[in-house]
Amino acid sequence: MSGSHPSGALFRAIPDTRRLDASIGPGGTPVLHLPGHWNPIPLTDRRSARWDEIWFCPGQDLTLPAGVRRVVNLCAAPDACELGLAALEKSLRPDTGILNHPRAVTMTRRDAAEIVFRPLQGLRVPPALRFVTASADAFELAFATSGFSYPVRLTPEAAHPDDSMRIKAPSDWATLRRQPWARRAWVMEQADASEVRWRMMLGIVGRTVRAEVFDADPTPTSVLPPPVAPDFAQRLSALACACLPLDIWTLIVRLEPGGPVLDRVFAGLPEPRPKEGSDFDRAAGRVAEALKPTASALLADSASWRMPPGLGARLPDVIPGAPT
């Protein structure tokens, strides 16, 4: 650990598989990417944000340095970084404040959502199944045992929130065999046959929410988004915060005629991808920009974090394998 601010640290973890993503940079040089993490830098003032860094690698023990009194957990993918989240929770001392507690991040696992958001009346949560692919036919085997019907949606671990695949018929499984499927965790969800294209993205920082409606279908259309009550986002976020004790996170719901349906939930705020230019990315940019002052203030004020020292032990284990 290095830096000039010994009382606070940013936590990152190498995925359980020890695999990193790679792309080709502007100069033709390979660039490594750490999947399953959110980026706090755009939300802070670079001149005043001074944090040490703590890294975890599977197979190693994790001990927080003695001077660390507050930790910002940047892991956002419990499927990909389960070992890192468990190690972080085990290393927390009674006097350590934690932003985005590791067990709360584990509660964002899609197969846990039905339990986590059960008290939230009015939000429908489609059933989901988490599985690890050990062979190319793992997808069809999971579907056969899930009790789901076509269509279903599949999302790989640590994927971008806008990346998923719809399987509408048996012939679509061949597409997945061309994906880098080997030994990855996937989530299969029951989808609606006539799924609406309109979503609402709620960026939540503390008790502050910024909502943006966006079109999840890139096909041009003249269909207008459905009307939404002025206080809808505030009411929904208040109820969701009572279910999930995260500090900085994102909730995405589908605006179905019968009421909101859970689409995605993840720690941190979504990062827009400039090269993509989708409606999702534009909405993500507006959310992050609007919440930047609030997030910057929250990162600097650990007394306002939802899990100050000593409270993390009160979080429940909602799914098998949750950090203990």
Residue 198 phi/psi, 5-degree rounding, is -90, 135
**pLDDT of 171 higher than 80:** yes
Give DSSP secondary structure letters for 8-45. Answer: EEEEEE--TT---EEEE-TTS-EEEE-TTB---GGGS-
For domain 110-123+196-303, the question of CATH label 3.20.20.450 is answered with no
Average pLDDT over residues 82-105: 93
Most confident of 31-35, 278-282, 308-312: 278-282
**pLDDT of 192 higher than 70:** yes
Domain ranges of the chain: 8-107+305-314, 110-123+196-303, 128-190
Give 128-190's CATH code, choosing from 1.10.760, 3.90.550, 3.30.1490, 3.30.60.
3.30.1490
Q: Length of the chain, please?
A: 324
More confident site: 27 or 252: 252
DSSP letter for 242, please: H
**80 in Cβ contact with 106 (< 8 Å):** no
Q: Comparing C-alpha atoms, which of 168, 164, 165 is closest to residue 150?
A: 168
DSSP letter for 256, please: E
**pLDDT of 257 higher than 90:** no
**pLDDT of 246 higher than 70:** yes
Q: How far is CA 243 from the centre of its chain?
A: 15
Which range, of 21-25, 80-84, 320-324, averages the lowest pLDDT?
320-324
Q: How confident is residue 4, by pLDDT bands cut at 50, 70 and 90?
A: very low
Average pLDDT over residues 157-161: 68
Average pLDDT over residues 215-232: 80
Which range, of 124-128, 143-147, 309-313, averages the lowest pLDDT?
309-313
Side chain identity, residue 257: P
Tokens of 304: 């306002």
Average pLDDT over residues 285-311: 87
β-sheet with 152-156: strand ranges across: 128-132, 185-190, 152-156, 165-167
Side chain identity, residue 102: P
More confident site: 231 or 192: 231
Hey, how many other C-beta atoms are within 10 angstroms of the C-beta on 196?
17
Tell me what pLDDT residue 182 has.
60
Q: Comparing C-alpha atoms, which of 115, 24, 108, 123 is closest to residue 73?
A: 108
DSSP β-bridge partners for residue 72: 10, 99
